[in-house]
Amino acid sequence: MRKNVWLICLGLVCCNLISAQWSPAGNKIKTSWGEKLDPKNVLPEYPRPIMERPEWKNLNGSWNYAITKKGAPVPNVYQGEILVPFAVESSLSGVGKTVGEQQELWYQRTFEIPASWRGRQVLLHFGGVDWQTDVWVNDVKVGRHTGGFAPFSFDITPALNKGANRLVVKVWDPTDRGEQPRGKQVEKPNAIWYTPVTGIWQTVWLEPVGAVHIAQLKTTPDIDKRTVKVDVATNGPSTDKVEVRVLDGNKTVAAGASLGGLPVELSMPENVKLWSPESPSLYDIEVTLYKDGKVADKVKSYTAFRKFSVCKDKSGFTRLQLNNKDYFQFGPLDQGWWPDGLYTAPTDEALVYDLKKIKDFGYNMVRKHIKVEPARWYTHCDRLGLIVWQDMPSGGPSPQWQMREYFNGTEVVRSAVSEANYRKEWKEIMDCLYSYPSIGVWVPFNEAWGQFKTVEIAAWTKEYDPTRLVNPASGGNHYVCGDMLDLHHYPEPNLYLYDPVRPTVLGEYGGIGLALKGHLWLPDKNWGYVQYNTPEEVTKEYRNYANRLLELIKKGFSAAVYTQITDVEGEVNGLITYDRKVIKVNEAIVRSINRKICNALNE
């Protein structure tokens, strides 16, 4: 990149910031939060509560953007402004354009480093960018990342100048024409497949750290031993000591230290508080890193004491357990899409709204379907008390799907590139989410979409994280592996297979549709697995299915997932409209029967 090009770009930034006026793109429905969005204060909350430092700088807001042919050089002229971190296809980006596999999306802005950060290293963080990301700071390429669902960062210190610094980001995303995990994005949206999401879709931020600093925390509670193990990964250089304190409010309840990079293992008091959806007790953690006898870094985190396991009950059924007790897990499918922000909730208040409504409806679990959320979403689950079933976003071709029998489904043979993309991103997702207490189940595959080497992938997932349960293929081709057998059946619940060794769960059912005029993404072609005309009819059918589920719990079901919490694009089978403005059922009735289901194994 030539210096004269940068002068042009800098001039464009100043001109655009003065003259341009952001407004949402398109005429699709919007949430109330999107309608009131302040473009000068976009998602201002600290983006990573599981490992928090006091100093940081938010880079969300107005950036320049351009869309060019794939392989073209950095643009001389940018086409306008985009509101980061909303994907370019979204309304809230202010752009509303598609990109596709033959083009690339460019971002450009300037930033300054606070004077108080001088002498420290500066990390540039991206919460999520879909899919291949190249980054330059002051003409210096600082790194590349592939993957649309895991956070990443670069140390940009060597590239920084005093005063203004120029940041350029290039993104290429082939959507469903590539060999990468992509979730439900397709070039031509229809039915259960949705609008593409290209580029930055989570917060971009800067953070100052010392030359020696904490890179990652891995927190592992054990309720049987009453211990918590804290693995502290650093950025490389050796350290003297790591100190860890566990706090209950302002009171220190456990403390310890380790040398030479070893984990810190702490014993908790006998009256340790257990986490559950009914009582989501959290403990704060402080981690201090020493180098040459001096404090090199300090971060705040938190943990919770809970255990996810399986066990035979007195009737001989294998049940899911929470904290060594039979516990029926029941919650909605949550796809995490927004009519105005697509992958990105307009505000943190919007992000937590769906979760609060899930609790209001009386559920104790949520299945995060074919998507990974920003870090704050998982912290909200931790605080509210919702068990999370975390899907791996799908990708790759689908094999023969035989969901009603064992062993007869044909697994897909992926290319080496596709398999490598899957394995890399699944590991990154598990790494970044490991310490969130609410995550109870990993789901590598859904409905045979891209399902390959199921036994091997399930075994690797369990080996990599033995503290959680593995649902090997939710509603997919069934093999005797992982921790449960997961059936899908629409619309009513149905127990058509049973596993005497593993818990049998109903990973999807329901899909009761209601199209409400004025709250629809599409003017027509809206659908549900069954459709009704009034909230009263939907509530009545929901209750019918729930009563059927209660009977099947007695016959072996150990968990269930209702489709779904909100409408998504042309799907109108949510309990809430896509714009989150109307609850489509009688909330009190739904809550009452949901609580009965959640307590079915405790009566």
Convert the pLDDT of each residue in 282-337 to its tens digit. Answer: 999 999 999 989 999 999 999 999 999 999 999 999 999 999 999 999 999 999 99
> What does the pLDDT look like over 79-132, one tens digit per residue?
999 999 999 999 999 999 999 999 999 999 999 999 999 999 999 999 999 999
Global pTM value = 0.95
The DSSP code sequence of 476-543 is SSB-S-SS-EEEE-SSS-------SSSPEEEEEEE-EE---TTS-SSSS--B-SEE-SSHHHHHHHHH
| pLDDT-based confidence at residue 17 (cuts at 50, 70, 90) | very low
Nearest Cα residue to 229 out of 467, 461, 426: 467
> What does the pLDDT look like over 566-596, one tens digit per residue?
999 999 999 999 999 999 999 999 999 999 9
> What does the pLDDT look like over 469-483, one tens digit per residue?
999 999 999 999 999
Pairing between strand 132-137 and 164-172? antiparallel
Domains assigned to the chain: 3-209 (2.60.120.260), 214-303 (2.60.40.10), 308-329+392-410+437-598 (no CATH)
Mean pLDDT of 6-32: 66
Check residue 580 and give its pLDDT: 98
State how far the alpha carbon of 323 is from the alpha carbons of 16, 51, 302, 390, 592, in Å.
56, 25, 19, 19, 24
Cis-peptide into 346, omega within 30 deg: no
Average pLDDT, the chain: 94
- Secondary structure E strands in 55-119: 57-58, 61-69, 80-84, 103-112
Percentage of residues in the chain having pLDDT higher than 70 = 97
Check residue 589 and give its pLDDT: 98
For residues 17 and 353, which has the higher predicted lDDT (pLDDT)?
353
Encoding tokens for residue 393? Answer: 């976003």
Encoding tokens for residue 135? Answer: 């980054």
Check residue 19 and give its pLDDT: 38
- Asked if residue 237 has pLDDT above 90, the reply is no
Mean pLDDT of 206-228: 97
- Asked if residue 5 has pLDDT above 70, the reply is no
Q: How many CB atoms lie within 10 A of CB 316?
A: 8
> What does the pLDDT look like over 338-360, one tens digit per residue?
999 999 999 999 999 999 999 99
| pLDDT-based confidence at residue 494 (cuts at 50, 70, 90) | very high
Check residue 18 and give its pLDDT: 34
Check residue 407 and give its pLDDT: 86
| pLDDT-based confidence at residue 7 (cuts at 50, 70, 90) | very low
Distance CA 110, CA 595 (A): 52
Cβ contact 91:30 at 8 Å:
yes
Cis-peptide into 390, omega within 30 deg: no
| pLDDT-based confidence at residue 20 (cuts at 50, 70, 90) | low
